[in-house]
Amino acid sequence: MADADRRRIAYVLPVYNEEENIGVFHAALVEATKARPDLDFEFVYVDDGSRDASLERLVELRGLDSRVSVVQFSRNFGHQLAVTAGLDLVARAGDADAVIVMDTDLQDPPRVSLEMIERWEDGVDVVYAQRRTRKDTPFKRATAWGFYWVLDRLASIEIPRNVGDFRLMDARVVAEVARYREHDRFLRGIVAHVGFRQEALLFDRDERHAGETGYPLRKMLNFAASGILGFSTTPLKMISRFGFAISAFSLLLGCYVLYVRLFRPDESVPGWAFLGVGMFMLSGIQLIMMGVIGSYLGRVYVEAQDRPLYTLAMVARDASPDGSAGP
C-alpha cells in the first residue's frame, strides 16, 4: 500500500460514552491531518466499554475509512488502560514511527497534534501538550494544583505539571512504555520515567464538545493516589519520621521527670508526666518499628512493580560474535 520511506503516525484514541462527539471529532482530526499528505495515518479507537452507541459510531467510521481501527473492551477498564491497550496494539504491530494519544471529546485540538509532529521531526522523542489555560471549574483547578504540589515533593522523578495524556511519543518510547506492566497505571509518570528527549508544547485546552466527563471526583482521587503511590514510597517512610518525633518528645519529658526527682526532692513528679513518658515512648517505638516494616514493604513494592531497570538510548560497540548488537 504505502511505500517504504513514508513515515507513519498512529493516533491512540480512548472512547467512553462519546457518541455525540466521535463523528465531529474524527472529521476534525482527518481535516487536520490533510495538512500532511506526505505521512501515513492510522486511527486506533479504543472503546472502553461505552454504554451508549459509541461502538456503533466507530464501526461506521471504520466502514468509511480503512485507516480506522477499532478495539472494544469487555467492560469499562478506565482511561489509562484504554490508552495502554492502544499503545500495546501499535507497539505489537511495530509499523508506526510515532504515536499520538489524545482525548476524543475535542478538548485536545487536532491541529496541536500536527505541531507535535513537527517537533518530533526536529528530533524530540516525546512532545507533551502543556495547558497554558484550562477551562475547568475553580474546584478542579485547585485540586489539580494541590495534587501536583504534593507529587512534586514526593515523587522520585520529575513529572511535568498541567500535562494530561495528550502527547506524541516516538516509536522507541512506545516500545519502552509497553515494558511497564504495573496494574495501577499513571501513564504520564511512566512516560517521564522512560526518559529520552521530552519537551512541552503549550496549548489552550478547549471545553468538552458534548456529553459529560468520565472522570468524576472519585476517579480523580483514585488517579491522584496512583500517581503518588506509584512514584513514591515516601508516605511509608514518613511513619518512622513521625515515630522519631514522638520519641524525642518522650525523651524531653523523661528529662523533666529526672530533673524533678534529682534536684527538687521537696516536689513530687506530677502523675501525667510519669504516664506521658511511658505512653509517648512506647508509641514512638511502635511507629519507628512500623516505619522499618514500611521501608521493607516499600522495597517489596518497587520490586513487585518490576519496571525495567534502565532504558538505553544508544549502543555503540562492535557486533558480538553472534551478530547481535550489544547486550
User: Where on the chain is the footprint of ligand UDP (CB under 6 A)?
Assistant: 14-16, 18, 48, 76, 78-79, 82, 103-105, 107, 208, 213-215
Partner from ligand UDP, Mg ion, none contacting 113, C-beta within 5 to 8 A by type? none
* 287 in Cβ contact with 243 (< 8 Å): yes
Pick between residue 105 and residue 176 the one whose CB is nearest to Mg ion.
105
Residue 36 DSSP SS3: coil
Q: Which residues lie below 8 Å from residue 77, measured CB to CB, with a gap of 6+?
A: 48, 49, 85
Residue 112 DSSP SS3: helix
Pick between residue 18 and residue 40 the one whose CB is nearest to ligand UDP.
18
Which of 42, 47, 105, 125 is the binder for Mg ion (CB under 5 A)? 105
Residue number with the smallest Cβ distance to ligand UDP: 214
Q: How far is CA 215 from the centre of its chain?
A: 15
Partner from Mg ion, ligand UDP, none contacting 14, C-beta within 5 to 8 A by type? ligand UDP
Beta-bridge mates of residue 42? 10
**Least Å distance between CB 120 and ligand UDP?**
22
Interface stretch with Mg ion, choices 17-25, 105-113, 247-255, 290-298 (CB under 5 A): 105-113
Restricting to residues 204-263, name those near Mg ion by CB under 5 A.
208
Pick between residue 101 and residue 246 the one whose CB is nearest to ligand UDP.
101
**Least Å distance between CB 213 and Mg ion?**
6
Residue 10 DSSP SS3: strand
Which of 80, 107, 226, 232 is the binder for Mg ion (CB under 5 A)? 107
Q: Which residues lie below 8 Å from residue 211, measured CB to CB, with a gap of 6+?
A: 17, 18, 19, 20, 21, 105
Partner from Mg ion, ligand UDP, none contacting 15, C-beta within 5 to 8 A by type? ligand UDP
Cβ neighbours of 85 (radius 10 Å): 19
**Least Å distance between CB 10 and ligand UDP?**
16
Interface stretch with Mg ion, choices 49-57, 106-114, 157-165, 303-311 (CB under 5 A): 106-114
Alpha-carbon distances, residue 262 vs 258, 259, 265, 267 (angstroms): 6, 5, 6, 10
Partner from Mg ion, ligand UDP, none contacting 110, C-beta within 5 to 8 A by type? none
Pick between residue 17 and residue 33 the one whose CB is nearest to ligand UDP.
17
* 97 in Cβ contact with 7 (< 8 Å): yes
* 18 in Cβ contact with 107 (< 8 Å): no
Pick between residue 86 and residue 284 the one whose CB is nearest to ligand UDP.
86
Beta strand segments in the chain, E: 8-15, 40-47, 68-72, 98-101, 126-133, 163-170, 198-204
**Least Å distance between CB 14 and ligand UDP?**
3
**Least Å distance between CB 128 and Mg ion?**
16
Partner from ligand UDP, Mg ion, none contacting 16, C-beta within 5 to 8 A by type? ligand UDP
Q: Which helix (H) or strand (E) holds 280?
A: helix 271-305
Restricting to residues 84-103, name those near Mg ion by CB under 5 A.
103
* 130 in Cβ contact with 167 (< 8 Å): no
Partner from ligand UDP, Mg ion, none contacting 230, C-beta within 5 to 8 A by type? none
Place of cell 485540586: 143
| Binding stretches for Mg ion (CB under 5 A) | 103, 105, 107, 208
